[in-house]
Every structure is written in C-alpha cells, then in structure tokens.
C-alpha cells in the first residue's frame, strides 16, 4: 500500500496536512486529503479514490484510522514489550505484566483535532499515574516521552498531565482487545486532549527533563492539546 505525505504549510505557518490510510487484508484505499479540506472531504474521499472497495473498509464505528507509516505494525500480545526508562532504571514489561497491575476502566469521548469524534468509548488498562508511581518516574524528570513500535510516531506529556486520572495505558477498547489498526495491543489514551496525543502501538515510556514535542507537534500542532482550548477544531462538524 502506498501513501504520500500531505504536509502543507498554509498562510498561518502551521503545517496542517496529514495522511490518512484506510485499508485491510490486501485491499487498500489511500486518501490523501489536504489541510483544511480534510474535515469535509474524508467521507467522500474514500468513494472518490476507490469506489469499488468501499464495502470492504471495516466498520470502525465512526473512527478514522490513522498511521504515519505505510500500514499498521503487527505485534502479538506474546511478543509485546513496553520499555520503561526511569533515570538509570530500565524495566521491560510484558502484556501479562500490564494485566497483573491494577486495572482501571473509563468511558470517554474520543476527539480528533480534524473534527470527528466518537462518543463514549470504553477503555481499560493501567492508569499512567500508577506506572509513574510504581517506577518512580516523577523523581527522574518533569515530563514523559512516548514511543511507538511503528518506529515513527512519538508523543509527550508533562508529568502533571500524565498524573491525571483520565490518562490510561490502554490494553482494551470497547470491551475487547485493541485491534491492530487502533494501535493494539497497547496504546495510550489521553482523554482530555485531542487524539493525536493518544499514541498507538506504544512501546516506550521515558522520564525526560523537559517536554519533547511529539510527531504532530513538531509539525505545528499544540503540545498542550486540550480539547476545545488548543489549535484544534472543536467547532468543526463531526463527519
Ligand atoms: N502511532 C500512531 N499513533 C497515533 C496516530 C498515528 O498516526 N500513529 N494518529 C493519532 C491521531 S491524529 C488520532 S486522531 C488517533 C486516531 O486513532 P485511531 O486510528 O484508533 O482512530 O491516533 C493518534 N495516535
Ligand atoms: Mo487526529
């Protein structure tokens, strides 16, 4: 499956392009939608690009599936590892290790900065604050950096943001495992912020001295991506 970068720099200097890849099982549709037209075009773009495969695009319940690489990285729960770096201490957790930690559930709206939103998404997993406490991360930095096993996407939070009770290292979504395209087996969910903070295919958490802006943030999006209070489009229609 091929996709092309759609980064643009509009008049306000903030690159707002992004790439959307929709596809499954050897049949892919690639919609490259530019800048401000993204919100209004996403639904139609699929039909416009490849009308014949519309019927095989999975019903994702209102979610758009995003990736900044060519496709979705694959990982079994057995092979999964989460590397936690807290100063000189490096700990590697398996999926079972995560499952053995206290489990927390939350149901929150999931809002992309481009305007689409899915209401009442059920997540469960381990509170990031529990991981911070268990591994002493706040003694070793003022922020956290997150990496993905897609090898490209990164994210960050201040320690204060990361301690919130609505920030989860999620191992379950909508009552089941997190699917490959939604970032399984483990993704971050930062419920109070636009979904670009919710890094998929999470494989690393590290305490850092300062906030290191993530993938979209070095491309112009706000580091503090509070829904309705950042450079997102909370006023945009849900498409
Ligand atoms: N690794 C990775 N995480 C990511 C992204 C991505 O492209 N790669 N996109 C982000 C954006 S912009 C959104 S809106 C959500 C989309 O989540 P979904 O693909 O499960 O709908 O994932 C976020 N996390
Ligand atoms: Mo997004």
**Per-residue pLDDT tens for 223-235?**
999 998 886 544 4
Q: Is 173 in the pocket of ligand 1 (CB under 6 A)?
A: no
Q: How far is the CA of 19 from the centre of ligand 1 (A)?
A: 11
* Averaged pLDDT of the chain: 80
Tell me which of 58-72, 94-108, 139-153 is least confident: 58-72
Whole-angstrom Cα distance, residue 118 to residue 108? 9
The Å distance, Cα 86 to ligand 1 centre, comes to 25
pLDDT tens for residues 155-169? 999 999 999 999 999
72 vs 23, 133, 155, 181, 220, CA distance in Å?
10, 31, 18, 6, 24
DSSP one-letter string for 13-43? S----EEEEEEETTEEEEEEE-GGGHHHHHH
Query: Does residue 112 have its Cβ closer than 6 Å to ligand 1?
Result: yes
The rounded Å distance from CA 195 to ligand 2 centre is: 5
Give strand pairing partners of 28: 23
Instruction: Looking at the structure, give the CATH architecture of the domain made up of residues 3-219.
Output: Alpha-Beta Complex (3.90)
Predicted model pTM: 0.78
Eight-state DSSP code of residue 48: H
Instruction: Please give the Cα distance from 40 to 46 (Å, whole number).
Output: 12
Closest residue by CA, ligand 1 atom 10: 196
Q: Whose CA is nearest to atom 23 of ligand 1?
A: 196
Decide if pLDDT at 54 tops 50: no
**Most informative mutation of 190, 196, 203, 239 for ligand 1 (most atoms within 8 A of CB):** 196
Distance CA 106, CA 123 (A): 5
Specify the pLDDT at position 130: 98
Which numbered atom of ligand 1 lies nearest the CA of 114?
14
pLDDT for position 228: 85
Span from the CA of 60 to the centroid of ligand 2 (angstroms) = 15
The whole-angstrom separation of Cα 6 and Cα 199 is: 20
DSSP string, 117-177: EEEEEEEEEEEHHHHHHHTTGGGG-SEEEEEETTSS-EEEEEHHHHTSTTEEEEEEETTEE
If residue 187 lies in a helix (H) or strand (E), which one and from where to where?
strand 187-190
Check whether 12 has a pLDDT greater than 60: no
């Amino acid at each position: 499956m091929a996709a092309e970068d759609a980064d643009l720099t509009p008049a306000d200097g903030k690159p707002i392009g992004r790439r959307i890849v929709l596809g499954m099982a050897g049949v892919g549709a690639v919609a490259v939608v530019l800048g401000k037209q993204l919100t209004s075009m996403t639904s139609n773009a699929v039909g416009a690009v490849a009308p014949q495969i519309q019927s095989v695009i999975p019903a994702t319940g209102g979610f758009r599936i995003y990736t900044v690489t060519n496709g979705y990285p694959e990982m079994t729960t057995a092979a999964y590892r989460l590397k936690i770096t807290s100063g000189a201490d490096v700990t590697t957790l398996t999926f079972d290790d995560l499952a053995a930690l206290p489990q927390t559930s939350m149901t929150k709206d999931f809002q992309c900065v481009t305007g689409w939103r899915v209401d009442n998404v059920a997540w469960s997993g381990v509170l990031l604050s529990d991981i911070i406490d268990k591994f002493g991360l706040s003694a070793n930095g003022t922020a956290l950096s997150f990496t993905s096993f897609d090898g490209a996407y990164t994210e960050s939070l201040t320690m204060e943001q990361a301690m919130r009770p609505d920030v989860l290292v999620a191992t379950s979504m909508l009552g089941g495992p997190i699917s490959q395209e939604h970032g399984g087996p483990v993704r971050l969910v930062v419920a109070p912020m636009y979904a670009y903070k919710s890094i998929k295919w999470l494989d690393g958490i590290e305490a850092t001295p300062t906030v290191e802006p993530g993938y979209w943030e070095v491309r112009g999006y706000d580091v503090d991506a509070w829904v309705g209070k950042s450079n997102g489009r909370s006023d945009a229609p849900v498409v």
